[in-house]
A and B are shown apart, each in its own frame.
Chain A
């Protein structure tokens, strides 16, 4: 009595010629006693023979050329990537360098010309005073117009822009020509 699973594992080796002759003879004897195993063996044989008859397929003629083309594209892509990386790296290092350089130049200027510092401070104070005056004015307007302050300012801005546009148009557009037919 044979074990069908064990017999089946020997089929594969038999097909590859890797089964010792004594075992091959035993497989042959067992096959005669089991129609189910015999059917499987025939199916495996059919598969084996069909595959052995199947040809090795020929590749497309231009495969090597296509591979070299892809390699060239890959190289170009790599070069672009390196270029972009260097560019970004350079830009990133340039920003801090410019800040440091500018700061050093300013410091040097201030050391050489101390009056410049006083001038810069006066400019800053003047700008702050202007801003303060603007805020005080706006506060006064707000007290007078209340919630209408913003629409009023928008309307004034609109009128101003419209006036400027009309003024620009009157200067740039050609004058109408009046044709007089006698």
Chain B
């Protein structure tokens, strides 16, 4: 039995136990998937407190609708689908979004492992830059990028999460990248980066 199949068996057991009223089993599910869900929420919303609340809300919705979950579908895809829909709703409701460096949780989550201060500052700036790029994209373009880069999902899996066709996923990824590339090219034409792919 592969590791993925074993993980799916454990998941199914947790789901069955949760449906019979065992909340400890649901706590295990939350523990297993809190990292990807929180990460998606933070990358979508760009705010630590809001991301935490959105992650909690995602799991609460997952718990309430667990009886509708299709066991043939990967649980990660299902819960990420709930998270992305919830974040898109939040962004629609939000009128103005301000991103401040203080909001970036990089110092909290990445620093503190003894790396030099200069490196920490660079990482902090990089995180702020990434978030600023993402914030400029429309939410429907933002989600596939997050799922691709931070969750290593394939085109097919992203299509499953977003309930889209694979060509639609490719199209959204392309448009998102094109849009960010235009912003980068416009902002810093002089910034040169290495060319590892040899083009």
> Which residue of B23, B42, B182 contacts A57 across the interface (Cβ within 8 Å)?
B42
State which size class the interface on B falls in: 35 or more
B21-59 vs A, Cβ < 8 Å mask (1 yes, 0 no): 001001100110011111100110000000010011001
Known: A47-B184, A51-B130. A31 touches B199 (CB 8 A): yes
Name the segment of B4-12, B68-76, B87-95, B186-194 touching the other chain: B186-194
Asked if A49 contacts B193 (CB within 8 A), the reply is yes
Name the segment of A8-16, A101-109, A114-122, A169-177 touching the other chain: A8-16
State which size class the interface on A falls in: 35 or more
CA distance A50 to B151 in the complex (A): 15
Give A19 Cβ to nearest chain B Cβ, in Å.
10
Asked if B39 contacts A44 (CB within 8 A), the reply is no
Whether B126 is near chain A, meaning CB under 8 Å from some CB there, is: yes
Name the segment of A68-76, A90-98, A141-149, A160-168 touching the other chain: A68-76
CA distance A60 to B41 in the complex (A): 13
Give A30 Cβ to nearest chain B Cβ, in Å.
10
- Central interface residue in A12, A48, A59, A74, by most chain B CB within 10 Å: A59
A53-90 vs B, Cβ < 8 Å mask (1 yes, 0 no): 11111111001101110110010000000000000000
- Residues of chain B within 8 A (CB-CB) of A40 are 178, 181-182, 185
- Complex: chain A residue closest to B24, CB-CB: A68
CA distance A95 to B61 in the complex (A): 39
CA distance A54 to B129 in the complex (A): 11
A143-158 vs B, Cβ < 8 Å mask (1 yes, 0 no): 0000000000000000
- Central interface residue in A40, A46, A53, by most chain B CB within 10 Å: A46
Give residues in B with beta carbon < 8 Å to A. Answer: 23, 26-27, 30-31, 34-39, 42-43, 52, 55-56, 59-60, 63-64, 105, 109-110, 126-127, 129-130, 133, 145, 148-151, 155, 170, 173-174, 177-178, 180-182, 184-185, 189, 191-193, 195-199
**Inter-chain pairs besides A11-B178, A14-B197, A43-B182, 8 sampled, C-beta below 8 Å:** A11-B174, A18-B155, A28-B198, A43-B184, A49-B196, A58-B35, A67-B30, A71-B63
Across the A-B interface, give the 3 residue pairs with the lowest CB-CB distance, nearest first. A59-B38, A12-B174, A43-B181
